A = this chain, B = another copy of it.
């Protein structure tokens, strides 16, 4: 077992990543690049694994750590525990997989009563020495002894109140108060944990190392790994690194820098800097930091910047950023500390960014010659592209015209817009979302404990924090719209209310469950619901999409149920319509009414009348869709909806149907009952209804074929693919083809030109997977229905899955991921069986995936591995699907 490596050790990158974790690997690379990094060493993940298993340190670790500390002392000329010139260290976690903020860190290890005078003397700053001490006490207390951090915060707040200055910043506390605080925190530790804070710096060090390794298994980290689908069985590494101090005075501070703008992708240094602060003060968002340069500042306000205050430090940080971005071939996000004017880099990593920024940075970097096209394609998270088509609120002008004003404004932390009901706790967000509510999570600020709530919320609002606060960073990663630092917002947790006190508007009190809208691109918050609109375009996306289309093998079709959607699909680059759900054409009230009359009609004559009405409407739609798609394949699925969902339910509807059909109300009710079912999703729907409800599929097929005839007569080429839903038996396909042949003979008197008609079957039941060989003999193509196949393979009704699947995923840890978004491996296995059998019976059989999963990159990757010919994605996910198909092919 390898025990530890100093930061300047040379190591194979793969071994380094596995043994030292991502964070320490970054420190190693930076050290090698000559960027100033405080020296230190990393105890390996192997030690972590062994400690996790046995609860004890492996042989020789103590000696090795002592040796490494001695090296540090030699390098810096300070002594660990030396009262004259003490070396302080940070003890940090870091696993091979990035788990930001999930595990623990302790800073300033090595401060005690004995070393305080030396620190004061060295830095000529008593306040600083006491600040380092009180920070150590708090971190040690919370991380090692498990004392709630609120208890330390409470002491601090109490102290400020006693001094009559409850709103004073920490950095403004006088030295006398700092002394009192140190004493307070020391007693708190002893009281709360039954044992005093260890003055022995060796004990401090080993306590800290142990706590950092143990934090791999804290609840927060376990939940995070579960949610992210990170395998157990590995462990964290632990880096011990000399402290540099951002809190030694006005010439010191800590900051975060992005090598480009993480929101827009513009090539400009972007970030925040907090003078007289250690790193965690910036991330925690408890004080509002300076921008690095005036470019990054909120528009229209004059503020302090690092560039203005310390131009030399700023220049150094800028040059480090440039070096790092070029070295890693990706936009970086660094943490740095300026100690008495000299910047040190504490961490570098690939920066989280908005979808817009990701696309623009990737394309720009190809133009800059830094990346190849294939590399650039892999740099963009395909899931995030949906954000680019993401909803936004109506324009300010529109809103103003309607007399709607923002109730408050914060920082635009993550773009997009959302409307939903207010909740104040992450757990509530999960619960409400499980009940189908759109929710907006409102928090004073967020922490790692809130992530499960942020995932399910439509948007996130925090009262405190800056553009690099936890809430902002996580929201951007999740593609959630987010507004932070909304200082006019006051949250009362117990009452579950929030007060909006924007000076320009009246104060509003909102409660849990009230509607709130927000715009993550402007930072504006509105009381009530606003209608969301489609979003603006990113120029670079077109270029990226061209590269993606060149790289991918699978065709990407769109789900489009209306002519409007078909036109939009084409503009999003769809190669055809992969799924036109004809049932959605019945949503318009007039059509729904005709459908209801056709279903309820007692007499053939009546039924035929209303079906003819529907046929006209569908025919018009089909003509428009064929015209829009200009000869590209249009896959139209025959009606597939539980018939009971189409029935007249409210009294006016029932009455209208009764009048139209000349029936009594109870007759309509009785006729409706024929269609009601216990488990409608598994009942009389799809081809089952098509073959047993007289005239239904005839009507639809006639509408398709006569639309095709009209188009071809006008010279518009039509490639029609008729899709049969819910096939369980080969005989269903045979029977349906007979109907189609009959209708075809009725519609076309001669062989049509410019018209291709194929018949495909949905493969969405395990039985149809198993009889795929038989089906392939009667169907021209297969379309896997991911949603129904998931429902039947798992035996889980999608509509009811929220009763337990979220609990399975989050609370109970029984399940990773949502099988209705990412194809379950066993669903993929059924698909593989179907493909093998289908291809054996008909070599070259065309097959693809449709449904929501068709837009999910992970599912698209599974489809590439299965060798499918196409995926059909929801409109908003089309660009993402094209990119994902390319990525899957490249990988």
Contacts and interface: CB of A to CB of B under 8 A. Distances in A.
Interface string A779-817: 000000000100111111101110110011000111100
B767 A795 contact: yes
Given A765-B795, A788-B795, A804-B692, A735 B682 contact: no
Contacts of A726: 795
Interface in A658-701: 677-684, 688-689, 691-692
Nearest to A435: B674
Interface stretch (A702-710, A716-724, A822-830): A822-830
Contacts of A48: none
B678 A799 contact: yes
Interface residues of A, number: 47
A795 B793 CA distance: 9
A295 interface: no
B679 A797 contact: yes
B794 A767 contact: yes
Contacts of A824: 767
Interface centre among A680, A688, A731, A824 (most CB of B within 10 A): A688
Contact of A793 (B683, B767, B815): B767
Contacts of A520: none
A800 B677 contact: yes
Contacts of A800: 677-680, 682-684
A728 B679 contact: no
Contacts of A770: 793, 826, 829-830
A304 interface: no
Given A679-B799, A683-B797, A691-B814, A826 B792 contact: no
Nearest to A804: B688
A682 B684 contact: no
A748 interface: no
A688 B682 CA distance: 19
A538 interface: no
A766 interface: yes
B807 A793 contact: no
Contact of A681 (B679, B729, B793, B815): B679
A307 interface: no
Contacts of A691: 804, 808, 812, 814
Contacts of A104: none
Nearest to A678: B799
A559 interface: no
A764 interface: yes
Contact of A735 (B791, B801, B814): B814
A732 interface: yes
Given A803-B684, A804-B692, A796 B677 contact: no
B766 A793 contact: yes
A684 B795 contact: no
Contacts of A688: 803-804
Nearest to A795: B765
Nearest to A799: B678
Contacts of A731: 808, 813-815
B682 A797 contact: yes
Contacts of A813: 731
Contacts of A794: 728, 765-767
Contacts of A568: none
A17 to B, nearest CB: 29
A677 B683 CA distance: 15
B814 A732 contact: yes
A826 to B, nearest CB: 5
Contact of A804 (B684, B766, B796): B684
A77 to B, nearest CB: 55
Nearest to A683: B800
A430 to B, nearest CB: 13
A692 B729 contact: no
A163 to B, nearest CB: 45
A680 B799 CA distance: 10
Given A679-B799, A731-B808, A792-B795, 5 more contacts: A678-B800, A688-B804, A691-B812, A728-B794, A728-B796
